Amino acid sequence: MLHGRLELTPVAIKAGALLANRLCGAGTELMDYEAVPTTVFTPLEYGTIGLTEEQAKERHGADNIATYHTRYKPLEWAVDKLITEGRRTCYVKVLVNRADSNRVVGFHICSPNAGEITQGVAIGFKMGMTKEQMDSVVGIHPTSAEDCIGLDATKEEDPDATKTGC
């Protein structure tokens, strides 16, 4: 049944392979529809995995969710004056369940290469990474991906969280 599920070709392929393994006795794994990395390929890509902010607060309780975020301009835009002088920015948001060892329950990014970044984050997400584990990774400079780690401002404490500097 696909009602409320992602209707994407890679999801169907993975779900079918898992079903085939179960039917022939070679496995028991079920498809995890919440841990599907997804990207919308618009001029500024949007990538997501896990729960939305609203879903996370509903499922785990609003008091248990911390929403780490930042607005930033990637260094790769520094050569384009139309972008750097304009209001165009990128955004990343990491949802953390405080009641479960700061486990990451949602990731959202709007930036160049968001699909590639989301695919990388999906590995840790699928393995149950915590915010501390995510922050322990060394960022690759100068990429938008480095702005996804080491987030220290929460939406609850700093609704704007605009990054300044490198």
The pTM of the full predicted model, rounded to 2 decimals, is: 0.89
3 is catalytic: no
Question: Quick one: pLDDT band at residue 166, thresholds 50, 70, 90?
Answer: low
Structure tokens at 2: 């696909």
Q: Prior bond to 112 cis, omega within 30?
A: no
Q: Are 93 and 67 contacting, i.e. CB atoms less than 8 angstroms apart?
A: yes
Catalytic residue among 60, 69, 108, 141: 141
Alpha carbons 37 and 52: distance in angstroms, whole number? 13
Q: DSSP alpha helices (H): ranges in the chain?
A: 9-23, 53-60, 81-84, 114-126, 131-135
Percent of the chain with pLDDT over 70: 90
Mean pLDDT of 37-51: 95
Contacts of 120 (CB under 8 A, 6+ apart): 145
